[in-house]
Structure 1
Amino acid sequence: MTTTNSGEPAAARADEVWKVYGTGEARVVALRGVSAEFERGRFTAIMGPSGSGKSTLMHCLAGLDTVDRGEVHVGGTKITGMGDKALTRLRRDRVGFIFQQFNLLPTLSAKENIRLPLDIAGRKPDPQWWDIVIDTVGLRDRLGHRPSQLSGGQQQRVACARALIGRPDVIFADEPTGNLDSRSGAEVLSFLRASVREHRQTIVMVTHDPVAAGYADRVVFLADGAIVDELAGPTPETVLDTMKRLDTHAEPVML
């Protein structure tokens, strides 16, 4: 089992992962032997052009899609080959999700939406952690509101709180600011950054936006289903420069 510098297993890991869709002329190789580790307490962005495999990689890491070859681990647990029930339980208890479309239930209040994963699991929120999460997202005065009574930015912050409340091993965010204006997007990204810095959460975010990627500790770049570069301590400018420089036929690198 591979461990990080702290001796803990990585929050998520892909080992020589291949994913192929379709057959014959319709065959598409989405991932080509991708190996990557995502350390605990770090914010990683995954970037690449449309069709590069970035969303497929995230879905495989999160157990939302299966791999054709290779292995995927969440924490110290190998999820490749795991049965449906065990995989569902792992996603519920150890993985958080933030989506572009918010995915809130319209009939539930903000508080009920945040609590939903715990309620489904039959767990009660830790009172101290609940207060930390609610104060970090800044929605204490909106907990009784339904999604239709909240702005887009507020809805996404509810979704972020829902992902955090169970203290998962890793949170996967798929274009979390894609439906937000720049101000609301900055609020959500600042919250995600704070959750990593102050509470040691682990976030893996797929994005096409160099500004969003600039909030991360590290950016992994994909092209044609392979990792072709990475960048530590990114800024919007260095991300944009890297994206311009990358050739879609660059040799993959193993991280």
Structure 2
Amino acid sequence: MAAVRAVGVSKRYPTVTALDDVSVEIDTGRMTAVLGPSGSGKSTLLHCLAGLDTVDSGAVYIGDVNLCGLDERRLTRLRRDRIGFVFQSFNLVPTLTAAENVVLPLRLAGRSPERAWVARVIDAVGLADRLGHRPAELSGGQQQRVAVARALVARPAVVFADEPTGNLDSLAGAGVLALLRRCVDEFGQTVVMVTHDPIAAGHADRALFLRDGRVVDDLPSPGVEQVLERLRAPRAAA
């Protein structure tokens, strides 16, 4: 079973159709990159797949659960328990330490952290010596590593990453991409990543290209040059 599915999904705004009858399956235990020019619908697709936005028609499934059939209370619970998020802007709570930010989703859910798993996640992101620091005392790359750890701590079915390296320099960005890749390879995590960066897409197992709200290309095992070629092609251009 696919980790996430969109079936005939459309999303319209007053002046634009952001998604136009999109159907796609996201493979379990793999990293999928979503690319396209500004306004192509890639972020809208991510938000609809993650249950952060509603669809006007079609359906979105996490596993066998149809998000479109859930009321707000059940949708909130599903996002809390089965979905992890990594945002471009980190979205850490500034008054909490790194350790407190990591376990925050569990605290909000009223769940006790599983110490062995939390320790494994902390080790994976390489922040054991920074756990007592608040976000303002961390570099951008370190803050994003905290965000990745927070996304993993509840053992989600899927981690959605929206331009996770967009606010980082190339070195810090490479570290975060390597970390997401490690999460897939070692933890069997499913990752869906929106990016504009061919280098970031080169870490993925698959690249989806959107234009005008539609999937126009689907590239397995993307290399950087292949991604650049697709982005330059007329069907993947703005």
Shared fold (TM-score, shorter chain, > 0.5)? yes
Q: Match for 1:55 among 43, 62, 68?
A: 43
Contact kept in structure 1, 2:3 and 2:158, CA below 8 Å: yes
SS of the aligned residue for 1:80 comes to helix
For 1:6, the equivalent position in structure 2 comes to none
State the Cα deviation string for residues 100-126 of structure 1 (Å, max 9, x = none): 000000000000000000000011222
Contact kept in structure 2, 1:72 and 1:78, CA below 8 Å: yes
In 2, the alpha carbon distance for the partners of 1:131 and 1:249 equals 44
For 2:59, the equivalent position in structure 1 comes to 71
In 2, the alpha carbon distance for the partners of 1:127 and 1:76 equals 30
Contact kept in structure 2, 1:224 and 1:249, CA below 8 Å: no
Deviation, 1:245, is 1.5
**Structure 2 residue 17 is the aligned partner of structure 1 residue 29:** yes
Q: Match for 2:71 among 83, 86, 93?
A: 83
**Structure 2 residue 86 is the aligned partner of structure 1 residue 94:** no
Deviation, 1:246, is 3.9
Unaligned runs of 5+ in 2: none
Letter in 2 for 1:227: V
Q: CA RMSD in A?
A: 1.2
SS of the aligned residue for 1:228 comes to strand
Deviation, 1:81, is 3.1
Contact kept in structure 2, 1:46 and 1:222, CA below 8 Å: yes
With structure 1 as the length reference, what TM-score do the two structures score?
Answer: 0.91
Count of residue pairs brought into register by the alignment: 238
Q: Match for 1:11 among 3, 8, 25?
A: 3
In 2, the alpha carbon distance for the partners of 1:145 and 1:219 equals 36
Q: Match for 2:31 among 27, 43, 65?
A: 43
Letter in 1 for 2:129: D
In 1, the alpha carbon distance for the partners of 2:236 and 2:170 equals 29
SS of the aligned residue for 2:235 comes to coil
For 1:128, the equivalent position in structure 2 comes to 116
Letter in 1 for 2:226: T
**Structure 2 residue 226 is the aligned partner of structure 1 residue 238:** yes
In 2, the alpha carbon distance for the partners of 1:174 and 1:143 equals 24
Contact kept in structure 2, 1:224 and 1:248, CA below 8 Å: no
In 2, the alpha carbon distance for the partners of 1:123 and 1:92 equals 11
**Structure 2 residue 172 is the aligned partner of structure 1 residue 184:** yes
Give the share of equivalent positions with the same residue, in percent.
61
State the Cα deviation string for residues 28-84 of structure 1 (Å, max 9, x = none): 111010000111100000000000000000000000110011000011111013111
With structure 2 as the length reference, what TM-score do the two structures score?
Answer: 0.98
For 2:194, the equivalent position in structure 1 comes to 206
Deviation, 1:13, is 0.6
Relative to structure 1, the CA distance from residue 138 to residue 76 in structure 2 (aligned partners, 3 Å threshold; closer, same or farther) is same
In 2, the alpha carbon distance for the partners of 1:123 and 1:201 equals 21
Q: Match for 2:135 among 147, 156, 160?
A: 147
Deviation, 1:249, is 8.5
For 2:149, the equivalent position in structure 1 comes to 161
